[in-house]
Structure 1
């Protein structure tokens, strides 16, 4: 009797087990599939030509955690090419750890933009480094035809979008040909001060002396008669004598004239 009972149980298990498995499979098929998790951003960058930039993010704990958490809510990354990062490394090494993290976060926008929507968005965009009004950390996107550029006030150069690494909602990754420099870390260079006008050429020493110290006039050499002229004292005495004798001469001339007039009158009589 016990053997019969055990055989019946085994038979039931054998019969019901496939039925239960089929039912479970049908239930699993009806259940909605779980949405895929956000992509690994740094892995995608490394595969798309931005390995140097991805390595910098991985080396910064703050930047790495922020990138991965932002990927779930929507994000657009502008990753510089390996050549651009290598050219920028001297500047990057001079930044503090905080400055490095902010620079890395500055290259991502907390909004998903497809390549098509990116071409229609001109203007200022906030970044993952933006922290209210304390830290603006924004850049300007400009479009001209199919060319998309990114510009900041820290440099006259622009970063151009070159290719698409990933464009699947909620994450888009585009390569750019230059590292984007935030004005908060790289102050714009001051405008060069115009050179002062050159001072007028100074007069030569000879000309200056001639202008301010004219040469004394050279007196004419005395002529032959100059040696016969009386000394200055004699000239003064002569003038005094002439002045004193002038009345006597006038009286004598008047007397002589009167005498001649009398003689002429007598002769005529």
Structure 2
């Protein structure tokens, strides 16, 4: 059989219970007071939800190498984490794309590296549907007015979303491969290449036009025709006149003199012939 509590202990327990009993009686007597207490409890603000950890979400979505570069850059890391509260869309290159780009990245200064990392984020949350409905230039976290534009061009063709600049490697745009996270205020899309801003890299050279093939088959025929064709005749140039040649007028006078000198000889020959004919005729008679 349990022993009864001492009288002093019973008094203490009753004294402890009195405030609670008084409160319950007051609430029962005043329904308005109970309602006010309930309303105040309902209006109490909920604890704010902490913004997502950007680099942790990138690493989980397949962009650990890019997330490590951001974490190693104090400027980029603080800007990413502060911008996510207002809404942000990140285009994070895959691990393979970052590894292929590392030699170029290491040649940049610390400020240029931070600008390149910030260049891959837009200070607006775009769902995948909203992303596919946009085309044209976009500002990035690296944009600083007209001094540093740091814009890229978003292009959509069907379900393919691409990002391009004038300095894109080989002129090929980076393509969105998958969605790592799309939950307001943060969207993360994995792309297959690092996007190069023109502020840090030279524009890609335009592809050279293909050379026009030479008409190799016609060349031998033309050469054969040229070989068979006779060379054009060249007239001999007139030689110098003889030093003792007579002028043209003198030549004409000489011809007239020769004709005059030969005339008596002709007349004598005709007279002799006629006399011979007459003599022959007389002898026959």
Any conservation in 1 of the 2:87–2:185 contact (CA below 8 Å)?
yes
Which residue number in structure 2 is paired with residue 126 of structure 1? 139
Which residue number in structure 1 is paired with residue 188 of structure 2? 173
1:56 is aligned, of 65, 69, 73, to: 69
CA gap of 1:28–1:80, structure 2 versus 1, over 3 A, is: farther
Which residue number in structure 2 is paired with residue 150 of structure 1? 163
Residue segments in structure 1 that go unaligned for 5+ positions in a row: 215-242
Kindly provide the CA deviation profile for residues 241-266 of structure 1, in whole angstroms up to 9, marking residues without a partner as x: xx999866543442242344456668
Partner SS for 1:167: strand
2:53 is aligned, of 35, 40, 59, to: 40
1:163 aligns with 2:172: no
Kindly provide the CA deviation profile for residues 41-73 of structure 1, in whole angstroms up to 9, marking residues without a partner as x: 111111111110000001111111110110111
Partner SS for 1:45: helix
- Tell me how far apart the structure 2 counterparts of residues 46 and 15 of structure 1 sit (CA, whole Å): 58
Task: Please give the TM-score of this superposition, normalised by the length of structure 2.
Answer: 0.65
Over aligned residues, Cα RMSD in angstroms?
4.1
- Tell me how far apart the structure 2 counterparts of residues 18 and 64 of structure 1 sit (CA, whole Å): 57
Shift of 1:122: 2.1
1:190 is aligned, of 199, 202, 205, to: 205
- Tell me how far apart the structure 2 counterparts of residues 87 and 98 of structure 1 sit (CA, whole Å): 21
- Tell me how far apart the structure 1 counterparts of residues 71 and 120 of structure 2 sit (CA, whole Å): 14
Which residue number in structure 2 is paired with residue 68 of structure 1? 81
Residue segments in structure 2 that go unaligned for 5+ positions in a row: 1-6, 24-33, 235-255
